[in-house]
Chain A
Amino acid sequence: MLELDSTSLAVFTTLAPAGMVAFVVMALLRSTVADHAGKRRVDHLLAIPFLLVLSGFITSTAHLGTPTNALYVITGAGRSPLSNEVVSVLAFLFLAGSYWMAAISRDLPRQVAGAWIAAGSVAAIIAVGFTSIAYSIETIPTWNTIYTPLALVAGALGAGCLLSEGIYLFAGGLKPTRSTVLLVAYALSCLVVLTAMVLLRIELDTITTFVAKASGLAMGYDVRLGFYAISSAGALCALFNASFREEISTKTRLALACASAFAALWGVFLVRDLFYQTYMTVGV
C-alpha cells in the first residue's frame, strides 16, 4: 500500500512544485512584456502551470483512504506540516485559477492584474516552501535531513525554469539572454539535486536501526540518479535546440519543448520516487 501511496505523492511533489515555480517565473517574465497582446498571450499560457499543479494535487488524493473527509485538512492550517502544505497549495490553485479565468475572459486593469498575479506568485513560493519541509519529521531520520528540502526546491526550480522557457516558445519565445538564464538555471538546479541526492546517499549509510540499514532501502539508487542525469541532460539539449536553432520549423520547436518538459518532469519524478523509498522510522 505504501508503494502505491508513495507513487501518487511522488507525482504530486513532481508536478505541483514545478508548476508553481513555472507560474512564478512566467509571472516575472510577463511583467517585462510591454505590449498588451503579449501579456494576453502569456495569460492564456498560464493555464499550463496551473493545470500541472491541479493534476498533481488531484493525483495526490489517490493515497487517501477517505477522500470525502479531505475538506477537514483545509480547516487545519497551522495544525501540522501536511495541512500547511495542502492549504497553501489550495490557496495557490484558487489565486492562480481565478486569475487565469478572469484574465482570459476580460481585460483586467493593469494594477489589478499585477496585484492578482503577484498574490498567486507569493502563494506559490509559500506552497513550495511548505511542501519542501513537510517531510522534516523527527521520527523519520532518513527524511529529516537538509537534503530533503534542498532536492525538492532545486528540482522544482529547475523544472519550473525549463517549463517556463518551453511554454514561452508557444508565445513566440523569449530574448536569447533570458532563455540562456533559464537554461543555465535549469542546469545548475540539476547539479544541486544530484549533489543533494549523492550526499543523502552517503548519509543513509550512517543511519541504522536494529531493523534495517537505511542504505539498503532504495533499490537501484545510483542507477536512478544516473537516469535522472540522462533525462535532465536530454531535456536541456532538446530545449536548447528548440530555443536557439532558428532553422527548425515551429512544429519541431514545439515538439522539442514538449519532449523537454516531459524528460525534465520524468527526471524529477525518478528522484522523488527514490526519496519516498528511503522511508524509515527511528523505531520498529
Chain B
Amino acid sequence: MTQYGFYFDSTRCTGCKTCTLACKDKKDLPTNLVYRKVFDYEGGMWEQGANGTYQTTAFMYHLSLACNHCENPACLENCPTGSISKDEATGAVISGAEETCIGCGTCVQVCPYGVPAVNPDTEKSVKCDMCIDLVAAGKQPICVESCPLRALEFGPVEELRAAHPDAVDGIAPMPAGTETVPAIVIATCPAAKMPGDTEGFVANEWEVAAN
C-alpha cells in the first residue's frame, strides 16, 4: 500500500478558508459540519523596554487541517463495528460505512486531531476521505485544487517528504504524532511553533470547535 497524504505550506497560507468551503461545497455538507478546518494560532505580546521603545514577541499563523489519514489511526483501532477502514490503494482512512456505523462517536472521542464527526442528519460518522473519487480519477483532492495560494499539495507521503526535506509532521496546535503517525508534511513558517507549544493559543477556538 502506498500511503498518500497532504503537504501544507504554512509560509503560504493566508487563512482564507477556501479549502474549507470548497470541500464543504463538494461534499454538500450541512451548515454545522466541515471536513477541513483552518486554525488561527497566535501568541506573544508587545513589551516596553528600558529605553521606552516597544519590542514584540507577537506571532500568528494558520494551519489548514483535515484528516491526516494516519498510519495507525486511533479511530480505526477503536471503532467497535469496523466501520472505519484504510483504503488499500491510497491509505485513505474511510469512515462511517452506511450499513455498519452505529454513530457511537468513539472515533470522535479518540482522534487527537478532532477530525471525525457524527453527522447530525444521518447519525453516522463522517470525515475527509481525501476525495478518493477524484484521486481515483487521477485528480487532486478539492482542497488542494482550490487553494489560491497553492499552500496544499497531495501525493504519496514519502514523495512529499522527499520533495520537502525540511518539512515536519506537525506544528502547534497539532499534538506530536507519536500515537497515530499522521500522513502529513508541513513546511514551517518563521512563526511556527512545534507541537506541545504553550506560548500560543487557538484564536478561533469557537469556530473550529463548532464544526
Interface of A toward B, CB cutoff 8 Å: 1-2, 5, 63-67, 69-70, 72-73, 75-76, 79-83, 86, 137-140, 208-211, 279, 281-284
Contacts and interface: CB of A to CB of B under 8 A. Distances in A.
Interface string B123-148: 11000000000000000000000000
B60 interface: no
Contacts of A67: 102
B208 interface: yes
Contacts of A210: 172-173, 196-198, 200-202
A65 B102 contact: yes
A139 B110 contact: yes
A281 B110 contact: yes
Contacts of A76: 80-82
B34 to A, nearest CB: 14
A63 B201 contact: no
Contact of A282 (B81, B112, B197): B112
Contacts of B83: 72
Given A65-B124, A69-B81, A283-B114, A139 B202 contact: no
Contacts, number: 116
15 contacts: A64-B103, A65-B101, A66-B101, A66-B124, A72-B82, A72-B99, A75-B82, A76-B81, A79-B81, A79-B82, A80-B79, A208-B198, A210-B173, A211-B202, A282-B112
Contacts of B100: 69, 72
B103 A139 contact: no
Interface of B: 39, 65, 74, 77-83, 99-106, 109-114, 118, 123-124, 172-176, 179-180, 196-198, 200-202, 205, 208
A139 B81 contact: no
Nearest to A83: B80
A64 B118 CA distance: 10
Given A72-B99, A138-B74, 10 more contacts: A65-B102, A66-B103, A69-B99, A69-B101, A80-B77, A80-B79, A82-B104, A139-B180, A284-B112, A284-B175
A interface, by DSSP: helix, strand, loop or mixed?
A: loop
B81 A284 contact: no
A64 B180 CA distance: 25
Max chain B CB contacts within 10 Å: which of A1, A64, A66, A282?
A66
A70 B102 contact: yes
A283 B201 contact: no
A279 B30 CA distance: 27
Contacts of A283: 111-114, 173-175
A81 B39 CA distance: 32
Given A64-B103, A137-B74, A139-B180, A73 B81 contact: yes
A99 B112 CA distance: 43
B77 A140 contact: no
Contact of B78 (A2, A66, A81, A211): A81
Nearest to A140: B110
Nearest to B115: A284
Contacts of A2: 105, 109
